[in-house]
Amino acid sequence: MTVGLLLLFLLAGLARALISPDSEIFYENRPARRFPAFSAASFLDGTWQSDVEDALSDQVPAAIRMKKLYNIFDTGTALPVIRMLGQGGGYVGFRNICFFEDMLVVRPVALPEKEDTFLAAARHIGSWQDAAPGTEFYVYYIETDRDLNLETGEKSGLYDCLTGALTLPAGRVGRLRVDSFADYHRLFFKTDHHWNADGSYQGYLDLCALLGITPLTVRGQYRLPACYHGTRAAGVEGVPAEDFAVNLFDYPDMTVTIPAGPIPDYGMQSLFVNGELESVSYGSVFGVDCGELVFDTGRPGKNLLVMGDSYDNAVVKALAAGFSKTYCVDLRSYASELRRPFVMADYLKEHRIDCVVFIGGVDYFGETLLREGGQ
pLDDT digits over 301-315, tens only? 999 999 999 999 999
pLDDT for res 3: 47
Q: Are 110 and 141 in the same domain? A: yes
The pairing of strands 255-258 and 292-296 is antiparallel
Are 198 and 263 contained in the same domain? yes
Q: Residue 31: CB partners within 8 Å, gap ≥ 6?
A: 23, 24, 25, 283, 288
87 plus 182 within the same structural domain: no
Q: Both 91 and 126 in a single domain?
A: no
Q: Please check whether residues 127 and 8 belong to one and the same domain.
A: no
Residues 91 and 209 placed together within one structural domain of the fold:
no
Total domains, the chain: 3
Question: Distance between CA 357 and CA 137 in Å, rounded?
Answer: 6
Residues 6 or more apart from 300 whose CB is under 8 A from it? 324
| SS3 state at 226 | strand
Q: How confident is the model at residue 288, as a pLDDT? A: 92
Q: What's the predicted TM-score (pTM) here?
A: 0.81
Residues 145 and 18 in one domain: no
* Domain identity same for 95 and 173: no
Domain that holds residue 24: 2-68
Question: Which of 50, 82, 103 represents a domain boundary (last residue)?
Answer: 103
Which pLDDT does position 35 carry in this prediction? 63
Q: Which of 53, 83, 103 is the last residue of a domain?
A: 103
pLDDT of amino acid 170: 87
Length of the chain (residues): 375
Identify whether residues 57 and 123 lie together within a single domain: no
- Does 63 share its domain with 91? no
Residues 224, 345 within the same domain: yes
Specify the pLDDT at position 236. 75
Chosen domain end from 103, 125, 156? 103
Give every CB contact of residue 365 below 8 A, 6+ residues apart in sequence.
Answer: 117, 118, 121, 141, 158, 162, 358
Please check whether residues 361 and 252 belong to one and the same domain. yes
Specify the pLDDT at position 6. Answer: 46
Residues of the chain under the 70 pLDDT cut = 1-35, 38, 40-50, 52-89, 95, 237, 372-375
Say which residues have a Cβ less than 8 Å from residue 191's Cβ, sequence separation at least 6.
103, 104, 228, 229, 230, 231, 232, 233, 239, 241, 242
Cα-Cα-Cα-Cα torsion 19, 289, 280, 69, nearest 10 degrees, comes to 60
Q: Sign (positive/negative) of CA torsion 216, 212, 312, 237?
A: negative
